[in-house]
Amino acid sequence: MESNCFVSIADCSKDDILHLIRKAEGFEKNPNQKLLEGKVCATLFFEPSTRTRLSFETAVSRLSGRVIGFSDAATTSSSKGETLKDTIKMVGNYADVIIMRHYLEGAARYASEITNIPIVNAGDGANQHPSQTLLDMYSIYKTQKTIDNLTITMVGDLKYGRTVHSLLTGMSHFNPTYCFVAPEELRLPDLYKRFLDKKGIQYQEHTDFSPEVINQSDILYMTRVQRERFTDLIEYEKVKNVYVLTNSMLNGSKDNLRILHPLPRVNEIAQDVDDNPKAYYFEQAKNGVFARQAIITTVLNL
């Protein structure tokens, strides 16, 4: 990678992504190593998280590193008015790498301009979630035995969904065909459609979550409608349960179909899907540890 930061998947070349996937594969085979002995990794979470923070911290622990940080910014001096700039400058004096999640788009990029230690973006507003993308792509590679030429259907909140924005960018190196399913209010922003047009990537847009859409897919990427991104909660109420995947909807799907979801889920995947062998979202979350081991060791040049 050109810089020692992992801020946007758009900064990664095709070779960078393939290299990280191969590294993740290696860590899955051998997750307990001493590569981070003597290293301090800071996890600064200004927004809630279960999987991302805990899997980053597991990744560090399994590599014998130590973790400092916070999961609730209300317990830090940012609640007294300390700026993000000052917080990053301070933590940059304590740690060897900063893994941060922030509600503002561009916060991780901004942080990377303030400190010389590597910044890993663990999600910035509705913008990017590049470590999720790496674990998603590793999951796609594991389940499909390839990441080339796949039909990927993304369902739900395509407007604010940072996992969607990152994944469609990362996968764009591998000749995907996309199918986007969203209500009018949550359609994929034009910015991303222009990006796909420029790269010559085929996509369809639908408001109906129909059997035809499911049956043509190799990957069904379900997403949550994110209450926290709406300024008008009446708008959220209108769309919150718009698509619910149930087990019977998978009857005509391809054998190789796998259902991914970055999680947390609310109602968009019925519980009866969990026992279907095509449901892969819990294994996907487990893959996060190995993908994040690959990211941390790469930004630290290990």
Which residues are the active-site residues?
Answer: 51-52, 80, 101, 129
189 near 121, Cβ under 8 Å? no
- Helix (H) / strand (E) element for 70: namely strand 66-70
Q: Can you spell out the DSSP letters for 242-261?
A: S--B-GGGGTTS-TT-EEE-
Q: Output 33 or 49, the one with its CB closest to ligand CP.
A: 49
- The contact pattern for ligand CP, residues 21-50, with x = CB under 6 A and - = no contact, is ----------------------------xx
Among 39, 43, 44, 52, binds ligand CP (CB under 6 A): 52
**In the complex, what is the shortest distance from the CB of residue 223 to ligand CP, in angstroms, rounded to a whole number?**
10
Specify the 3-state DSSP secondary structure of 206: strand
Instruction: Pick from 264, 266, 274, 283 the residue near ligand CP by CB under 6 A.
Output: 264
- Dihedrals phi, psi of 162, to nearest 5 degrees: -65, -30
Q: Which is nearer to ligand CP, 92 or 130 (CB)?
A: 130
Q: Which two tokens stand for residue 113?
A: 């301009």
Query: Closer CB to ligand CP, residue 252 or residue 264?
Result: 264
Q: CB-wise, 132 or 143, nearer to ligand CP?
A: 132
| Minimum CB–partner distance for residue 8 and ligand CP (Å) | 16
Binding range to ligand CP, per CB under 6 A, among 102-110, 147-155, 245-253, 260-268: 260-268
Dist CA 285 CA 119 (whole Å): 22
Residues 115-144 that bind ligand CP (CB under 6 A): 123, 132
Nearest to 168 by CA among 143, 144, 142, 189: 189
66-70 sheet: strands from edge to edge: 66-70, 40-45, 97-102, 119-124
How do beta strands 66-70 and 97-102 pair? unpaired
Contact flag: residue 271 with ligand CP (CB under 6 A): no
> Of 7 and 213, which CB lies nearer to ligand CP in the complex structure?
7
CB of 262 to ligand CP, least distance (A): 4
What is residue 215's three-state secondary structure? helix
Residues that bind ligand CP (CB under 6 A): 49-52, 123, 132, 262-264
